[in-house]
Amino acid sequence: MSAINFIGIGLALFLAFLLIQKKDKGTFDFILLAWLVLNAVLLFFYHLNFEGNTDQFVPILIVMSLIPYLISPLLFIYVSSLVQGEKFSWYAQLIHFIPFTTMVLSMWWFYWVPSEKHLIWVSNGYINMEGQLPFHIRNWSLIMAFSACMYPILCLFKILRHQTDILNEFSNLQEKTLNWMKSWIVIEFIGFWVSFLIIIAGDMDVVNILTSFKVISALIITNVFVIGYFGVRQSSIFLDSLPLNNIKREEKYKYSNLTHLETEVLINQLNEKMKREKLYRNPTLSAAQLADMMNISKHQLSQLINQKASVNFYEYINHYRVEEFKNRVKIGDADKLSLLGLALDCGFNSKSTFNYLFKKYEGVTPSQYRKQVAQ
169 phi/psi in degrees, rounded to 5: -115, -40
Q: Are residues 105 and 151 in the same domain?
A: yes
Beta bridge partners of 237: none
Q: Are residues 168 and 95 in the same domain?
A: yes
| 155 and 75 Cβ atoms separated by less than 8 Å | yes
Angle between helices 209-233 and 27-50 (to 10 degrees): 160
HSE-CB at 145 with a 13 A cutoff on CA atoms is 14
The SS3 assignment for 118 reads: strand
- Whole-number pLDDT of residue 364: 93
In a domain, 254, yes or no: no
In a domain, 248, yes or no: no
The SS3 assignment for 120 reads: strand
| 144 and 66 Cβ atoms separated by less than 8 Å | yes
160: which residues sit within 8 A by CB, 6+ positions away?
182
* Number of domains the chain contains: 2
In a domain, 347, yes or no: yes
- Whole-number pLDDT of residue 100: 94
230: which residues sit within 8 A by CB, 6+ positions away?
180, 181, 184
CATH number at residue 350: 1.10.10.60
pLDDT digit string, tens, across residues 90-122: 888 999 999 999 999 998 888 888 777 888 877
Q: Are residues 264 and 122 in the same domain?
A: no
Tell me the C-alpha distance between 306 and 301, whole Å. Answer: 8
In a domain, 252, yes or no: no
Q: Are residues 231 and 306 in the same domain?
A: no
Identity of the highest mean pLDDT range in 34-38, 52-56, 134-138: 34-38
CATH number at residue 69: 1.20.1070
**Chosen domain end from 238, 270, 299:** 238
- Whole-number pLDDT of residue 125: 61
- Distance in angstroms between the alpha carbons of the first and the last residue of the chain: 68
Measured in whole angstroms, the distance separating CA 1 from the mean position of its chain's CA atoms is 31
Residue 5 belongs to what H/E stretch?
Answer: helix 2-21
Q: Are residues 227 and 284 in the same domain?
A: no
Q: Are residues 8 and 43 in the same domain?
A: yes
State which amino acid sits at residue 283: P
Confidence band (pLDDT; 50, 70, 90) for 346? very high
In a domain, 54, yes or no: yes
In a domain, 295, yes or no: yes
**Chosen domain end from 238, 273, 293:** 238
Tell me the C-alpha distance between 289 and 240, whole Å. Answer: 9
| 41 and 67 Cβ atoms separated by less than 8 Å | yes
In a domain, 321, yes or no: yes
| 196 and 203 Cβ atoms separated by less than 8 Å | no
Q: Is the dihedral of CA 128, 134, 137, 141 positive or negative?
A: positive
CA angle 335, 341, 345 (to 5 degrees): 105
Q: Are residues 43 and 188 in the same domain?
A: yes
Q: Are residues 231 and 275 in the same domain?
A: no
Range of the domain at 285: 260-374
Tell me the C-alpha distance between 121 and 54, whole Å. Answer: 12
Confidence band (pLDDT; 50, 70, 90) for 335? confident
Q: Are residues 75 and 179 in the same domain?
A: yes
Cα-only R_g, the chain = 27
CA angle 365, 367, 370 (to 5 degrees): 110
Residue 121 belongs to what H/E stretch?
Answer: strand 118-123
> Is it the case that residue 253 has pLDDT exceeding 80?
no
Q: Are residues 234 and 275 in the same domain?
A: no
In a domain, 253, yes or no: no
Q: What is the mean pLDDT of residues 265-280?
A: 92
- Whole-number pLDDT of residue 242: 54
If you count DSSP H runs as helices and E runs as strands, how many of each does the chain have, helices first? 16, 2
pLDDT digit string, tens, across residues 291-316: 999 988 888 898 889 888 889 999 99
Q: Are residues 361 and 301 in the same domain?
A: yes
Q: What is the pTM of this model?
A: 0.84
Tell me the C-alpha distance between 1 and 216, whole Å. Answer: 11
CA angle 159, 164, 168 (to 5 degrees): 130
Residue 128 belongs to what H/E stretch?
Answer: strand 126-131
Q: Are residues 270 and 199 in the same domain?
A: no
